[in-house]
Structure 1
Amino acid sequence: MKALILSGGKGTRLRPLTYSGAKQLVPVANQPILWYGIQGIVAAGITEIGIIISPETGEEVQSLTGNGDRFKANITYILQEEPAGLAHAVKIAQPFLKDSPFVMYLGDNLIQRPLNPFLQKFKAENLDGLILLRPVSNPSAFGVAQVDRRGKVLKLVEKPKDPPSNLALVGIYFFSPKIHEAIAQIQPSPRGELEITDAIQRLIECETAVESCTLEGWWLDTGKKDDLLEANRIILDTQLTPSILAQVDAQSQVIGRVQIGRGTKVVNCSIRGPVAIGENCYLENCFIGPYSSIADGATLIDVELEHSVILQGAKITGIHQRLVDSVIGRRAQLTVAPRRPKAFRFMIGDDSQIELV
């Protein structure tokens, strides 16, 4: 069994952050989103992993993620020259996948449940396709499935105007090698892409074994700012391991589940968890409220922060009013002069500099 993770695309929904970096590398609780998928796959016993990358961000993905040693896996990188669809990604990965069954995992998705039960069903029932489904309120924004009472998939439609159900496809699929034959028989959709929904529909039409499972627990597609903040909140709430390896002075107060990395200095601050603070940061005269993540090398002075994600090397000073629901990019600088409003909400890309006066 192998795995194929998609980490290409242009990340248009998460701009301006993704003008200069891969959306799958944006951190949630100070860990790249992509890595959660890798860890879930390895936990299911799959260690041969191919990662689809794009020309724009592939080098960054490779540099940060490496050859798989940190995950006890073997990672092969596969370049997709242009975002031509999920089925196209499978097509160009065929030399890596060969005749192996595989799980395909969209690299910006997070799920609560482990993969093992789905993998066991896929193997035990000798299926050619197993898809994960989740009821949603806006099915027209997703690939949508129509299934019978026992979960057999009858029909799939990509982003339909008139959805046959409210069951959206979660970005995790299990396939036998027959998917390659199906992809070879489909044509690009009106938007010019080879759709994985069309390929699965072809499997259904050929009367192969395609089943579904309804996903329980949370599922997060982190393609937008609010989704990213929600993912950060949930991961901090459910997976944060408290540890303080930093220098915290006597005037500071740390309450609740808080993680602070080595080399960080905390001076006269109040920190209320769940909060994750990376390594080599400097915090002075700050209130850091719940559901905040601060990445390595960040500097915060005279800042009140809550429910926000601060990326590597960002510098924020003089924010005495509460900074909430914000995402601040890498190395961004945010400075606020006196006579400020009551609250701010920001999404600031990498290397930005903003001064409010």
Structure 2
Amino acid sequence: MQAVVLSAGKGTRLRPLTDDKPKVLVEVDGRPILEDVFDNLLEIGADELIVVVGYLKEQIMDRYGDSYRGVPITYAHQREQLGLAHAILQVEPYIDDDFMLMLGDNVFRANLGDVVNRQQEDRADAAFLVEQVPYEEASRYGVLDTNEYGEIVEVMEKPDDPPSNLVMTGFYTFTPAIFHACHLVQQSDRGEYELPDAIDLLIQSGRTIDAIRMEGWRVDVGYPEDRDRAEDRLQSESGRIGGPQQETESPEVEQTPESTTD
């Protein structure tokens, strides 16, 4: 399956770490975050990496060239960082079938393979990891609204009054139907084309959407202190990348809001 990695952001909140490099090349535990993302994706079956680049893109392209661990890399240039839905549209010419999508600044040790398996079994138009966060934090994320049967009826980006505390993380699978939805998305009040809005269009049109509870943890490396937390977790982590975790504690996440403008 092809895998798309969104890596175009400037990482303004990570300064000074990103003064001279894109945020996906900030090192965590001795290597760039992007390599951790690549390894996760290869572990769960990615056979091509399509990397959306923007800020200081030459550093990424020069470093990895046309392959990583024998898997080919294709680059798509997002000239303006106008949101995740806009970033996805940059890869439309390169996608042949169902694909994975991961945010390039996320460190995951979670059940990513469950999402891919569900996609392959059901061929859902979108499948993604979700988790519960403290209700007061839900307005920072893409929030899911469900009915009495637990079915997703709406997805909204950073609502002022969240209908639940169930939120999306940074890993998804899609069919090419997502491109049509992204083309229809209107610019938000934040000036971005939001991925949750595109997913909500799929839901409202009756498409199949699967949400899988996250088991494990992730850190969205948005601030320098997030980098430190991710490094601490990796140094104490003994689970296998992309597979079942050995931890028995409750799922945990440390993250900052998703955005390609930073």
- TM-score tier after normalising by the smaller chain length: 0.7 to 0.9
User: Paired residue for 1:80?
Assistant: 78
1:169 aligns with 2:168: yes
The residue matched to 1:171 in structure 2 has which SS?
strand
Q: Return the offset for 1:115.
A: 2.3
The one-letter amino acid of 2:76's match is I
User: Paired residue for 2:43?
Assistant: 43
1:143 aligns with 2:107: no
Q: Distance in 2 between matches of 1:189 and 1:51?
A: 24
In the alignment, is the contact (CA less than 8 A) between 1:6 and 1:53 conserved in 2? yes
Structure having the higher helix fraction is 2
Aligned with residue 128 of structure 1, among 111, 125, 138? 125
The one-letter amino acid of 1:40's match is N
The residue matched to 1:230 in structure 2 has which SS?
helix
TM-score normalised to structure 2 length: 0.86
Higher radius of gyration, 1 or 2: 1
Pairing 1:184-333 to 2, within 5 Å after superposition = 184-239=183-238
Cα distance, 1:27–1:150 mapped onto 2, change above 3 Å: farther
Cα distance, 1:36–1:192 mapped onto 2, change above 3 Å: same
User: Paired residue for 2:245?
Assistant: none
User: Paired residue for 1:6?
Assistant: 6
Can you give the 5+ residue segments of structure 2 that lack an aligned partner in the other structure?
240-262
In the alignment, is the contact (CA less than 8 A) between 1:136 and 1:166 conserved in 2? yes
User: Paired residue for 2:255?
Assistant: none
Can you give the 5+ residue segments of structure 1 that lack an aligned partner in the other structure?
241-357
User: Paired residue for 1:57?
Assistant: 56
Aligned with residue 89 of structure 2, among 79, 87, 91? 91
Q: Return the offset for 1:151.
A: 5.3
The one-letter amino acid of 2:101's match is M
Q: Distance in 1 between matches of 2:188 and 2:202?
A: 17
User: Paired residue for 2:15?
Assistant: 15
User: Paired residue for 2:97?
Assistant: 100
Cα distance, 1:28–1:149 mapped onto 2, change above 3 Å: farther
The one-letter amino acid of 1:19's match is D
Cα distance, 1:5–1:149 mapped onto 2, change above 3 Å: farther
1:112 aligns with 2:109: yes
Aligned-residue RMSD, C-alpha: 1.6
The residue matched to 1:191 in structure 2 has which SS?
coil
Cα deviation per residue 1:192-237 (whole Å; 9 max; x = unaligned)?
2111111000000100001101101111101112211110011111
The residue matched to 2:110 in structure 1 has which SS?
coil
What is the identity percentage for the equivalent residue pairs of Structure 1 and Structure 2?
A: 35
Moved more, 29-38 or 59-68: 59-68
How many residue pairs match? The answer is: 237
Structure having the higher strand fraction is 1
The one-letter amino acid of 1:121's match is R
Q: Distance in 1 between matches of 2:140 and 2:132?
A: 12
Cα deviation per residue 1:244-293 (whole Å; 9 max; x = unaligned)?
xxxxxxxxxxxxxxxxxxxxxxxxxxxxxxxxxxxxxxxxxxxxxxxxxx
Cα distance, 1:68–1:140 mapped onto 2, change above 3 Å: same
Cα deviation per residue 1:72-120 (whole Å; 9 max; x = unaligned)?
21101111001011111111110111x4111110001111124222101
Q: Return the offset for 1:171.
A: 0.8
